[in-house]
Amino acid sequence: MAYDPADLRIPGWLLRLLDTLVKLHIPIGFGWRFGLTRPGILMISALIGIWAAALYSSNNLLYLCGGMLSALVLVSIAQSIALLKSIPPLAATLPDWIEINIPHALYHRVTLAKLPLGIPAFAAAVDVHWPELESRLELRTTAGHNSMQLRGRLMGHQRCSLALSQQFLSTSAPLGLWSIQRRRNDPATLNILPKPVTWHGGAQGSSHLTRRIEGDEYSDLRSYARGDSPSRIHWRKVAPTAGQWRVKQFHQPAQQAGSHHLIVDLRLPDKMQHDAFEQLLGKAWWWLQSQRQTASGLLDLTLGQQHIDASHDEGLYRAICAIAAAQPESTPPLESPRDSVLLTLVESLK
């Protein structure tokens, strides 16, 4: 008999009811939550119907069918719980810092602990989330492997130093009928740094630092020398002979800052907006990166009332944390040697 497939559509009120049930997560204690998916709701409804029919009719075949499906449900839930328990702490896989509004691709292989229930090999996906982070990460494993691939994209929209504490792991593997969620303590620190702002300045203390303009037509050109790349020849300064060509020289690192000590005055005048303060920290972050790559010796950063020796990895991490967590101050920065470079928004010090 012919039928119209439109007659088999699920009514809207039933879809809304299913969506409401899917959003419910029942706490089962010790940081665990249990939720259902749409197929899981249909599965549980069918299982309840089978057991109701078996108890009403005392049919052994219905008892057998209900027992097999119930065992399948319990084993799959146990497998989901064991999978989440086997995932080691993931805080070490996070980067120390990311830059604001720049996506950071994360790819890391995580070795699973020994599964206590002898779970057979199956493919699974685990959602990883810290409440303080807007981004979500995903763990994936394929059948026959005892490791998972952590993939995700981190992005920060505001400069800060995030102290991550509680972590949520959730999965619907292996059957996709229910969602098991685990809450655990996995502390980590993620520093979201400002966008680096390129600049150059003199080596004298309290000097005004001007904006660096690469390839400027007037102050950043030199005469052509043999071996220069043709891409550096200024197109508006092309001459008939090679000796008269003008080339973009780009300031060398040694010319960008003659000092390995930077002072950042964190005072923000009342007339200035907070964006100027963010640009100030962006200059400090760019200076720290460039000097770290070129300097071979002492590297000091005075950030307001903090003096940090960034010559080693531990000091560099402290400087990164300080820049990420910096806030406007009302007091002048600490005193420093005369050959240091000063970054300030206060007009009287420029």
Q: Write down the domain spans for the chain.
A: 11-193, 199-210+258-349, 213-250
What pLDDT score does 141 carry? 78
- Nearest Cα to Cα of residue 177 among 80, 81, 32, 38: 38
Cα angle 121-126-127, degrees, rounded to a multiple of 5: 175
Given a cut of 80, whether residue 24 has pLDDT beyond it is: yes
- More confident position, 218 or 131: 131
- Nearest Cα to Cα of residue 150 among 160, 142, 141: 141
The model's pLDDT over 139-150, given as tens digits with 9 standing for 90+, comes to 887 655 678 889
Give dist(CA 23, CA 1) in Å, integer. 39
Give dist(CA 5, CA 280) in Å, integer. 64
Q: Would you say 37 and 177 are in contact if contact means Cβ atoms under 8 Å apart?
A: yes
| 221-223 and 160-171 beta bridge pairing | unpaired
Where are the strands (E) in the chain, listed by range? 25-29, 32-36, 97-99, 104-111, 124-129, 137-141, 147-154, 160-171, 178-193, 199-200, 210-211, 221-223, 246-248, 261-264, 300-303, 306-309, 341-343
What pLDDT score does 208 carry? 40
Given a cut of 50, whether residue 272 has pLDDT beyond it is: yes
What pLDDT score does 234 carry? 62
What pLDDT score does 147 carry? 82
Q: Would you say 324 and 97 are in contact if contact means Cβ atoms under 8 Å apart?
A: yes
Given a cut of 70, whether residue 314 has pLDDT beyond it is: yes
Give dist(CA 254, CA 276) in Å, integer. 26
Q: 255 falls in which pLDDT band (50, 70, 90)? A: very low
Given a cut of 80, whether residue 259 has pLDDT beyond it is: no
DSSP state of 10: P
Give dist(CA 166, CA 181) in Å, integer. 13
- More confident position, 115 or 181: 181
Average pLDDT over residues 16-43: 91
Q: Would you say 308 and 287 are in contact if contact means Cβ atoms under 8 Å apart?
A: no
Q: 295 falls in which pLDDT band (50, 70, 90)? A: low
What pLDDT score does 213 carry? 40
What pLDDT score does 11 carry? 81
What pLDDT score does 14 carry? 84
- More confident position, 123 or 331: 331
Given a cut of 70, whether residue 13 has pLDDT beyond it is: yes
What pTM, to 2 d.p., does this model score? 0.73
Q: 18 falls in which pLDDT band (50, 70, 90)? A: confident
